[in-house]
């Protein structure tokens, strides 16, 4: 096998990985801080995609309005996240996790139909923004510039996220909330606002990733359900609540899928779930997570 | 940090198979189970083709939901992958009957056996994990089954699925006076009702037995159970296997009922659906899940007649349940009954 | 427990109440077809074509004095959903006939339901030979669509035109249609150009969101040409991902696709991202190149545009439209609406479509319909790619 081909597959896997990282990072964040598995995270991602499409229609259909549309998507989904958290999630915190899980599932159902109602059932698409269109040849393989863009965004977000969580005042509060919510509240911090804030950040990330995926993939009903299981796998492999864990989990997942179709074509679907199961059996808190 | 037994649900205080209306002697004398069973049997004659179709769906869903509730309500295990066992049962029965042309009398028990075995293997790993990871691992196993069903074209039919599962042979039934005149599908309906009734009776017995009581003890306080000498993991695994086996039976019946077994039967959203049924009816009550199954199938039929946005309504129903009626239908009725009794006595 | 049963009893009694009697004066046609998801871009126009036909027929007085009624359902391109909906349509809605489904996963599954319930089932799009081969044929199944043998022969013919092509890679969705179409292509190309070798085959799943690993794998084999069976939304996603990776450039646009991506439906979905220069097909190219457009087709396109209020007609509606027309011919010939009689009437029946006559063959109830093939080009008049000079191919398929 030619080296340039292996390099292409590797880069392809990395692109998939960075997309997934963007989505999964929000999921991991919410889990790490609030101990909630948010099934609706995939729905936020889908809404981000639809909002981006809508934004592009409003601002400039040939893609130049893409950045504004992406911002609209992130902001819109962030606002939705804030509303959902304050109005509904708040009242479920004291209850069993089952109710929180089922609540997020109810959101999946409702948001899925809302998207169908608002944007119809056809597959929509968005053109690549002109400034990132085209491709370059690296090591004999053609790499779309947009993919390279995604590959840089991923680590940037990971680094920024890590810095904020570990080197800033806000980050310290968030980590404290993760360790002992009641104590933090007793010390006078507004824990509720921290939770809302985290949920909003997570939703923004989901919305943004949905927007950024539109030049490459179609926007279609059902994309929420397809993505959420992949995000779960990534977060399980890497470790819930750990940014770098999610990052490396995404990379592993992306490369397994990418090379999987070469080595064992029929099994790539099976292998990612098997990988998830193996990690849960052997090291449930993931490669980089901490035991709960 | 997260809630333990000090939650606002009634789960902690309720023993397995709570009884509503137990104060009234008239109501408790009427053999309700028998009446429902006889009514169910009579549907082909009094209900017509479509109602038989619905009733069969409800009956199978009821068994599936009750099997899940053995884990959810009785043992406190939140499984998000219960559809895996349903699927294994459906495929085993379907493959044995269609590809190998074995009779139902062999295929049906084999389905339960296959599902039970898979439950044993997967459960062994799952029960070792705490709540959240348990849920994720059950999901992983169920998606593994889905991936196998989807891709193993030669055996499972892959995307195409296995259409045209044959009906069991009903020669033996044709000798019985009334029953011989029925269509094959109605004969199968009666067989289904009978098998499900027996299964529910068995599960009921299990829940009411000392074994079942240990399970609820484990649900309420696993540490205390361990202190008094209970091998918590062993009991949880046993519950897992029993639940899986009966889910397999439900799956086998469903495959024949739907005239086909398809990979999407095993997709994780079906696990969520059956969980909603259990909670809608009331997971603290043995008969909650069947009532939830009934309500959900009925609601689905009514609502899809008017709109294509059934998921939206299902989501809303779920929200109402979670925020307003965590005890489900039976929980709501029970509360109402208690209030009535109190005002009557006062 | 007691009161729970009281409730259960009440609900059971309520549900047992017999249904209100159905009105007997319409002919009900059940129509399960994907209306959401990546394949809806083909499914919806097929339904629209059928609705147009029903509207026209009802306006002219109906059939045998009765009006037609179309009951459409979204099958989401899922075999189990299609089966469930079909059974509901039969049992609950008491439909007289079943028309529809899109994919080769749905159609064979629904065919078994039709067989068991002895109800006529007509298929507009599914091409797998499984549907009507000796093991699966039954009196009630009829296929308006082409099949993979016909498609493969035509596709191979197009590929054979490239004199300097020696190696080909294929990509097709991993299910019955994909496998059948590639097998048919390989068999046909071996006969026409034994010097061409198929060096690799890729099998993404239907509805795959990310084709990049498959595209890279194809490019690594450095093929001279590509034979592709991706269709509908999958083709849209594939093309959008393949272009920046340089796939089309690498093979100088020598790509042949048999999945009806030459229709305005697919072309509009891709818009400016459409890979011009590839060879594509359609049941109805809509925009006729050479000037010898059949007058029936012209009228059909006008009626369709008026009905759908769309600026451009769809290339798929013709299948829905022709299906209803064929069914109506069968009903008229049979003299009643019983599936047993209609199915007998349909076997061997010749009927009109806007692009010519078709016949349901006696043995396998198929039309072996040719499709229109040509190069995808851009003209000044239309904002999307169209087929340049569409030709009905193959011209030499042996029908039986």
Q: What is the pLDDT of residues C254-281, one digit of tens each?
A: 999 999 999 999 998 888 889 999 999 9
CA pair distance C47, C70, nearest whole angstrom:
9
pLDDT 10s digits, A29-69: 888 877 778 999 999 999 999 999 999 888 876 656 888 89
Residue A55 lies in a domain: yes
Q: What is the pLDDT at residue C2?
A: 47
Q: Sorting pLDDT into bands at 50, 70 and 90, what band is B346?
A: low
The predicted-structure confidence for A265-286, as pLDDT tens digits, reads as follows 777 778 889 989 999 999 988 8
Give the whole-angstrom CA distance, residue B124 versus residue B122: 5
Dihedral, A185, A189, A192, A195 alpha carbons, nearest 10: -100
Q: Cα angle at B185 between B181 and B186, to 5 degrees?
A: 55
Residue C207 is predicted with a pLDDT of 85
pLDDT at A12 > cutoff 80 = yes
> B26 or B146, which is more confident?
B146
Share of chain B above pLDDT 90, in %: 60
The whole-number pLDDT of residue A292 equals: 65
Q: Which of B147, B311, B322 is nearest residue A109 as measured by Cβ atoms? A: B311
Q: What pLDDT is recorded for position C213? A: 87
Which residues face A135 on adjacent strands? Answer: A144
Give the pLDDT band of residue B10 (cuts 50, 70, 90): very low
Q: How far apart are CA B170 and CA C187, in angstroms?
A: 46
Using 50, 70 and 90 to split pLDDT, how confident is the model at A1? low
pLDDT mean over B111-136: 93
Q: Identify all chain B residues contacting C5, using CB atoms and an 8 Å cutoff.
A: 30, 32-33, 35-36, 287
User: Given this model, what pLDDT does residue A33 score?
Assistant: 77
Cross-chain residue pair C206–B159, CB shorter than 8 Å = yes
In 3D space, the residue among A86, B196, B283, B161 whose CA is nearest the CA of residue C111 turns out to be B161
Which candidate from A109, A236, A273 shows the least CB-CB separation from B312? A109
Q: What is the CA radius of gyration of chain A?
A: 19
Whole-number Å distance between alpha carbons of C375 and B337: 74
B68 close to B274: Cβ distance less than 8 angstroms: yes
Q: How far is A94 from chain B (nearest CA, A)?
A: 6
Q: Do the beta carbons of residue B22 and residue C3 sit within 8 Å?
A: no
Residue A118 covered by a domain:
yes
SS3 B190: helix
- Joined together, the tokens standing for residue C362 give 């006696």
Q: What is the largest CA-CA distance in chain A?
A: 62
Residue A241 near residue A33, CB atoms below 8 Å: yes
Q: What is the pLDDT of residue A269?
A: 78
CA distances from A29 to A182, A205, B3, B139, C237 (A): 19, 10, 20, 21, 31
- CA dist C80 and C214 (Å) reads 28
Name the residue among A227, A284, A230, A287 with its Cα closest to residue A253.
Answer: A230
Burial of C192-210, coded b for 16+ CB within 10 Å and e otherwise, reads ebeebbbebbbbbbbbbbb
Fold for domain B10-345?
ABC transporter involved in vitamin B12 uptake, BtuC (1.10.3470)
For residue C13, the model assigns a pLDDT of: 46
- Tell me: pLDDT of C398 over 90: no
Residue A124 DSSP code: B
Q: A189 vs chain C: nearest CA distance in angstroms?
A: 44
Q: Is C46's pLDDT higher than 70?
A: yes
DSSP class of B73: I
Cα–Cα separations (whole angstroms), residue A257 to A9, A18, A243: 10, 13, 21
A289 found inside a domain: no
Nearest to B234 by CA among B247, B210, B218: B218
Q: For residues A124 and A139, what is the distance between their CA atoms, to the nearest angstrom?
A: 34
Q: From CA A201, how far away is CA B83, in angstroms rounded?
A: 34
Whether residue C113 is predicted with pLDDT greater than 50 in this model: the reply is yes
Distance CA B151, CA B291 (A): 36
Residue B8 scores a pLDDT above 50: no
- Nearest CA of chain A to the CA of C37: how many Å? 6
Buried b or exposed e, range B63-76, using 16+ CB within 10 angstroms: bbbbbbbbbbbbbb
> If you compute the radius of gyration of chain B from its CA atoms, what whole number of angstroms results?
20
Please check whether residue A28 is in contact with residue A233, taking contact to mean a CB–CB distance below 8 angstroms: no
Residue in C210, C217, C240 closest to A16 by CB: C210
**What is the band of C17 on the pLDDT scale with cuts at 50, 70, 90?**
very low
In a 13 Å sphere around the CA of B82, the CA atoms on its Cβ side amount to 34
The answer to whether B307 contacts chain A (CB < 8 Å) is no
Is A206 among the domain residues?
yes
- The full set of domain ranges for chain B reads 10-345
Are A284 and B7 an interchain contact pair (Cβ–Cβ within 8 Å)? no
What integer best gives the mean pLDDT of chain B? 87
Rounded CA-CA distance B45/B99 in Å is 33
Burial B224-237 (b: 16+ CB within 10 A, else e): ebeeeebebeebbb
pLDDT tens digits along C68-102: 999 999 999 989 899 999 999 999 999 999 999 99
Per-residue pLDDT tens over the stretch B215-269:
999 999 988 999 988 899 999 999 999 999 999 999 999 999 998 999 889 998 8
Residue partners of C390: CB distance under 8 A and separation at least 6: C262, C282, C285, C288, C289, C372, C373, C374
In a domain, A14, yes or no: no
Model pLDDT, residue B3: 36
Q: Which domains does chain C have, with CATH numbers?
A: 26-146+301-359 (3.40.50.2300), 149-282+371-393 (3.40.50.2300)
Classify the phi-psi angles of B100: left when phi > 0, otherwise alpha if psi is within -120 to 50, otherwise beta.
Answer: alpha
Is A247 contained in some domain? Answer: no
Contacts of C218 in chain A (CB under 8 A): none
The distance of B117 to chain C (nearest Cα, Å) reads 26
Find the residue in A nearest to C214 (Cα).
Answer: A261
B298 touches chain C (CB under 8 A): yes
Q: How far apart are CA C276 and CA C386, in angstroms?
A: 9
CA dist list (Å): C384 to A201, B306, C246: 40, 37, 21
- Interchain CB contact of B55 with C (< 8 Å): yes
CA distance B244 to B89: 9
Confidence at residue A63, expressed as pLDDT on a 0 to 100 scale: 57
- Nearest-by-Cβ selection for C216 from A5, A123, A260: A5
Q: In the predicted model, is pLDDT for residue C5 greater than 80? A: no
> CA torsion sign, A158 to A163 to A169 to A175?
positive
Min Cα distance A46 → chain B (Å) is: 16
pLDDT higher than threshold 90 for residue A181: no
Residue of A nearest to C45 (CA): A122
Strands C371-377 and C279-282 turn out to be: antiparallel
Over range C218-243, report the average pLDDT. 92
Round the average pLDDT of chain C to a whole number and report it.
Answer: 89
Q: Which residue of A has its CA nearest to C240?
A: A216
* Chain-centre distance for alpha carbon B215: 18
* CA–CA distance, A93 with A19 (Å, rounded to integer): 30
pLDDT at B2: 38
Query: Is the pLDDT at B17 greater than 50, yes or no?
Result: no
d(CA A239, CA A276): 11
pLDDT at B107: 94
Place of tokens 């985290």: A198
Mean per-residue pLDDT, B65-80: 94
Determine whether B312 is exposed, middle or buried from the number of CB atoms within 10 Å of its CB (0-12, 13-18, 19+). Answer: buried
Mean pLDDT, rounded, for B321-339: 89
What the block records as the tokens of C226 is 């590509």
Domain that holds residue A59: 24-221
In a domain, A287, yes or no: no
Number of domains in chain A: 1
**Nearest chain B residue (CA) to C92:** B50
pLDDT at residue B171, as a whole number: 82
Q: Subunits with at least 3 CB pairs below 8 A relative to chain A?
A: B, C
Residues in CB range of B42: below 8 A, 6 or more apart: none
Report pLDDT for A188. 72
The pLDDT, as a whole number, for residue B12 is 37
Q: How far apart are alpha carbons C241 and C204 in whole angstroms?
A: 14
Q: Could you give the angle at which helices C2-16 and B288-306 cross, rounded to 10 degrees?
A: 30
pTM of the predicted structure, to 2 decimals: 0.89
- Dump pLDDT digits (tens) for B155-194: 888 878 888 888 988 888 777 877 777 788 888 999 999 9
Instruction: Encode pLDDT of B291-328 as tens digits.
Output: 999 999 999 999 988 888 999 999 999 999 998 888 89
**A:B CB pairs within 8 Å:** 123
């Amino acid at each position: 096998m030619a080296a340039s081909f292996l390099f292409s597959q590797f880069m392809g896997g990395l692109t998939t990985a960075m997309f997934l990282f963007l989505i999964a990072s929000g999921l991991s964040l919410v889990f790490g801080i609030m101990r909630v598995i948010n099934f609706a995270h995939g729905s936020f991602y889908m809404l981000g995609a639809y909002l981006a499409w809508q934004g592009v229609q409003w601002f400039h259909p040939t893609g130049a309005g893409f950045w504004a549309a992406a911002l609209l998507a992130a902001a819109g989904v962030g606002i939705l996240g804030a509303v959902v958290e304050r109005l509904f999630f708040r009242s479920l915190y004291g209850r069993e996790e089952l109710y929180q899980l089922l609540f997020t599932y109810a959101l999946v159902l409702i948001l899925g139909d809302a998207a169908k109602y608002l944007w119809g059932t056809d597959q929509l698409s968005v053109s690549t923004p002109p400034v990132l269109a085209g491709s370059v040849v690296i090591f004999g393989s053609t790499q779309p510039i947009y993919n390279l863009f995604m590959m840089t965004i991923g680590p940037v977000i990971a680094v920024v996220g890590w810095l904020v969580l570990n080197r800033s005042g806000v980050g310290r509060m968030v980590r404290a909330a993760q360790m002992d919510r009641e104590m933090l509240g007793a010390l006078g911090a507004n824990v509720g606002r921290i939770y809302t804030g985290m949920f909003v950040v997570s939703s923004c990330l989901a919305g943004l990733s949905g927007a950024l995926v539109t030049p490459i993939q179609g926007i279609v009903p059902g994309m929420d359900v397809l993505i959420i299981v992949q995000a779960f796998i990534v977060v399980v492999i890497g470790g819930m609540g750990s940014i770098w864990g999610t990052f490396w989990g995404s990379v592993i997942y992306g490369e397994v899928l990418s090379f999987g179709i070469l080595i064992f074509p029929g099994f790539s679907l099976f292998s990612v779930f098997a990988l998830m199961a193996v990690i849960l059996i052997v090291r449930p808190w993931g490669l980089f997570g901490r035991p709960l | 940090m997260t809630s333990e037994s000090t939650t606002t649900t009634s789960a902690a205080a309720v023993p397995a198979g709570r009884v509503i209306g137990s104060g009234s002697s008239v109501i408790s004398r009427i053999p309700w189970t028998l009446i429902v069973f006889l009514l169910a049997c009579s549907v082909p004659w009094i209900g017509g083709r479509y109602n038989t179709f619905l009733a069969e769906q409800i009956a199978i869903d009821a068994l599936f939901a009750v099997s899940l509730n053995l884990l959810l309500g009785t043992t406190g295990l939140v499984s998000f992958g219960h559809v895996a066992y349903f699927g294994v049962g459906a495929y085993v029965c379907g493959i044995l009957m269609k590809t190998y042309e074995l009779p139902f009398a062999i295929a049906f028990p084999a389905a339960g056996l296959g599902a039970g075995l898979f439950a044993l293997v997967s459960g062994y790993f799952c029960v070792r994990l705490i709540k959240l990871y348990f849920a994720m691992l059950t999901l992983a196993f169920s998606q593994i089954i889905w991936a196998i069903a989807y891709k193993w074209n030669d055996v499972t039919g892959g995307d195409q699925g296995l259409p045209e599962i044959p009906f069991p042979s009903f020669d033996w039934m044709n000798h019985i006076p009334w029953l011989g005149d029925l269509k094959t599908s109605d004969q199968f309906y009666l067989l289904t009702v009978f098998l499900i009734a027996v299964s529910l009776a068995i599960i009921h017995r299990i829940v009411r037995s000392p074994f079942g009581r240990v399970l609820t003890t484990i649900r309420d306080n696993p540490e205390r159970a361990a202190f008094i000498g209970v091998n918590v993991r062993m009991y949880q695994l046993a519950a897992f296997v029993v639940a899986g086996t009966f889910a397999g039976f439900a799956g086998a019946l469903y495959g024949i009922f739907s005239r086909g077994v398809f990979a999407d039967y095993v997709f994780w959203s079906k696990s969520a659906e059956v969980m909603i049924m259990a909670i809608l009816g009331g997971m603290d009550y043995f008969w909650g899940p069947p009532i939830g199954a009934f309500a959900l199938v009925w609601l689905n039929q009514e609502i899809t007649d008017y709109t294509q946005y059934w998921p939206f309504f299902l989501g809303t129903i779920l929200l109402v349940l979670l925020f307003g009626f965590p005890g489900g239908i039976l929980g709501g009725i029970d509360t109402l009954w208690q209030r009535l009794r109190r005002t009557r006595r006062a | 427990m007691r009161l729970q049963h009281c409730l259960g009893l009440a609900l059971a009694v309520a549900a047992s109440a017999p249904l209100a009697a159905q009105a007997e004066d319409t002919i009900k046609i059940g129509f399960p077809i994907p209306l959401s998801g990546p394949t809806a871009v083909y499914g919806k126009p097929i339904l629209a074509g059928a609705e147009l036909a029903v509207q026209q027929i009802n306006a002219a007085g109906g059939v045998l004095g009765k009006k037609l009624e179309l009951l459409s359902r979204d099958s989401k391109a899922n075999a189990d959903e299609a089966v469930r909906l079909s059974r509901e349509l039969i049992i609950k809605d008491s439909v007289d006939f079943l028309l529809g489904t899109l994919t080769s996963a749905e159609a064979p599954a629904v065919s078994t339901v039709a067989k068991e319930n002895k109800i006529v089932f007509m298929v507009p799009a599914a091409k797998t030979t499984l549907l009507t081969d000796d093991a699966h044929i039954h009196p009630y199944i009829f296929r308006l669509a082409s099949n993979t043998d016909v498609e493969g022969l035509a596709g191979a013919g197009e590929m054979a035109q490239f004199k300097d092509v020696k190696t080909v890679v294929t990509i097709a969705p991993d299910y019955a249609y994909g496998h059948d179409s590639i097998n048919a292509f390989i068999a046909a190309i071996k006969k026409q150009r034994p010097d061409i070798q198929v060096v690799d085959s890729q099998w993404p799943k239907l509805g795959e969101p990310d084709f990049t690993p498959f595209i890279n794998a194809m490019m690594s084999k450095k093929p001279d040409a590509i034979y592709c069976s991706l269709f509908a939304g999958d083709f849209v996603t594939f093309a959008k991902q393949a272009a920046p990776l340089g796939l089309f450039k690498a093979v100088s646009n020598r790509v042949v696709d048999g999945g009806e991506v030459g229709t305005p439906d697919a072309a509009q979905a891709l818009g400016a991202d459409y890979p011009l220069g590839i060879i594509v097909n359609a049941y109805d190219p809509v925009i006729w190149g050479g000037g010898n457009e059949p007058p029936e087709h012209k009228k059909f396109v006008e009626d369709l545009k008026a009905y759908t209020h769309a600026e451009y007609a769809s290339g798929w509606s013709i299948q829905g439209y022709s299906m209803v027309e064929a069914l109506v011919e069968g009903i008229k010939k049979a003299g009643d609406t019983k599936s047993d009689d209609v199915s007998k009437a349909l076997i061997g029946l010749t009927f009109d479509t806007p692009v010519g006559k078709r016949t349901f063959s006696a043995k396998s109830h198929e039309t072996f319909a040719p499709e229109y093939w040509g190069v995808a080009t851009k003209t000044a008049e239309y904002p999307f790619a169209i087929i340049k000079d569409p030709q009905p191919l193959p011209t030499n398929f042996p029908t039986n």
